[in-house]
Structure formats: C-alpha cells, structure tokens
Amino acid sequence: MSYTITTILCQSFLCECIGCDIVSGRIVPPGGMIAESEHFILHQDPEVPIRAFFIVASKAHIQSMDQMSVAEARECFDLVYQARKLQSRLGDISEVLVIQEERSEHFHLWLLPRYAWMDELFANSLTTVREMLKYAREHRCNEDDIKEILETVKRSRELWRLA
Ligand SMILES: [Zn+2]
C-alpha cells in the first residue's frame, strides 16, 4: 500500500516503502547519506526536523533484526555504535534515546538526541516521544532550523571520514 511522505525540505513523495526508496536513491535523505556499510545505511531522519536525529536502516527490506545473520547484526550494531559516538563528537548532545520498532516493514533504528529545548517542554520519557516529534514538525521547521540540520549532516560526514 502506498503512502505519501513529506520531508523536512518540504518535498512530497509517494512511497511503497520509504526505506527501500532511500536505499535505491529515489529519495535522498536531508543533506545526503552520512555513511554506509555493506548492509546498512546511516542518515538524518527525513521527516522530523531535529538536528542529528540519526537513522540506521538495513539495505534489505527486512522487518526485524531477527532476520539478520549474526554477522549482519554485528555489522548493524557497529554502525549504531559509531553513529552514537558521532553524536557525542558533534558537541551539544548529552543523551540519546535509541528506539527500534518492528511495526515498520523496513528495519530502521532511531538515535534520537536530547536537547535543552526538549527539557523545557517534554518529560524525558518514552511516552512523550511522539508528541515531541510532532512538536518539532510543527514548530521547529523554519529556514534556520533546516540550515542547521543540513550543516550538521555535512559536519557528520566529515567527522565520519576522520574517525
Ligand atoms: Zn523496504
């Protein structure tokens, strides 16, 4: 079943699977890919304007880590580990929430950073995550926010190369 997504750059796409569309290059994540390994990719979340909100996704259309080989699972976690280290190197991220939901048909894992603006508005809890993402879409998607996100993606790619 197809659905429409709107990216933080205000582009709309009709997708069968956004994960597969990003892997194939039909949809370019904001600022482009940050890193990739043989079976996984790392990029900024395309739909939520939160700086350094990273996604690690499988290249294959699988739903669960249960469908990975041991080697693939290790490769995946290695990328998650490096992505988390990268968030620390970006400077102002003190804490990251790691989420992997199997409701999605295409395996992806969220590395959601915590910022001061969130502390003022939302309890630091899993239960506020959806509300917080909605708030970001509605109130933190202006030109400066997007510019900062794109600069962070660029900086992330540079730091990745240096690591
Ligand atoms: Zn897919």
Q: What is the mean pLDDT of the chain?
A: 95
Which bin fits 10, alpha (ψ -120 to 50), beta or left (φ > 0)? left
Regarding pTM above 0.75, the answer is yes
Give yes or no for a contact between 89 and 161, defined as CB atoms under 8 angstroms apart. Answer: no
Residue 10's pLDDT is 87
Q: Which residues lie at CB < 5 A from ion ligand 1?
A: 17, 19-20, 61, 106
* 91 alpha carbon – ligand 1 mean position (Å): 33
Instruction: Say how many domains are in the chain.
Output: 1
* 63 alpha carbon – ligand 1 mean position (Å): 8
* 23 alpha carbon – ligand 1 mean position (Å): 8
* 160 alpha carbon – ligand 1 mean position (Å): 25
Residue 91's pLDDT is 86
Residue 94's pLDDT is 82
* 61 alpha carbon – ligand 1 mean position (Å): 4
Q: What is the mean pLDDT of residues 37-56?
A: 98
Place 112 in a pLDDT band, splitting at 50, 70 and 90. very high
Residue numbers of the domain that contains 70: 3-162
* 74 alpha carbon – ligand 1 mean position (Å): 20
Q: What is the mean pLDDT of residues 107-126?
A: 95
Q: What is the mean pLDDT of residues 139-163?
A: 95
The pLDDT tens digits of the residues spanning 65-102 come to 999 999 999 999 999 999 999 999 998 898 999 999 99
What distance in Å separates the CA atoms of residue 55 and residue 72, rounded to the nearest whole number? 17
Residue 122's pLDDT is 96
Residue 92's pLDDT is 85
pLDDT surpassing 90 at residue 163:
no
* 123 alpha carbon – ligand 1 mean position (Å): 33
CATH of the domain at 155: 3.30.428.10
* 15 alpha carbon – ligand 1 mean position (Å): 10
* 106 alpha carbon – ligand 1 mean position (Å): 5
Residue 120's pLDDT is 92
Which one, of 24, 12, 43, 15, lies nearest residue 150 by Cα?
A: 43
Per-residue 3-state assignment (H helix, E strand, C coil) for the chain? CCEEEECCCCCEEEECCHHHHHHHCCCCCCCCCCEECCCEEEEECCCCCCCCCEEEEECCCCCCHHHCCHHHHHHHHHHHHHHHHHHHHCCCCCCEEEECCCCCCCCEEEEEECCHHHHHHCCCCHHHHHHHHHHHHHHCCCHHHHHHHHHHHHHHHHHHHHC
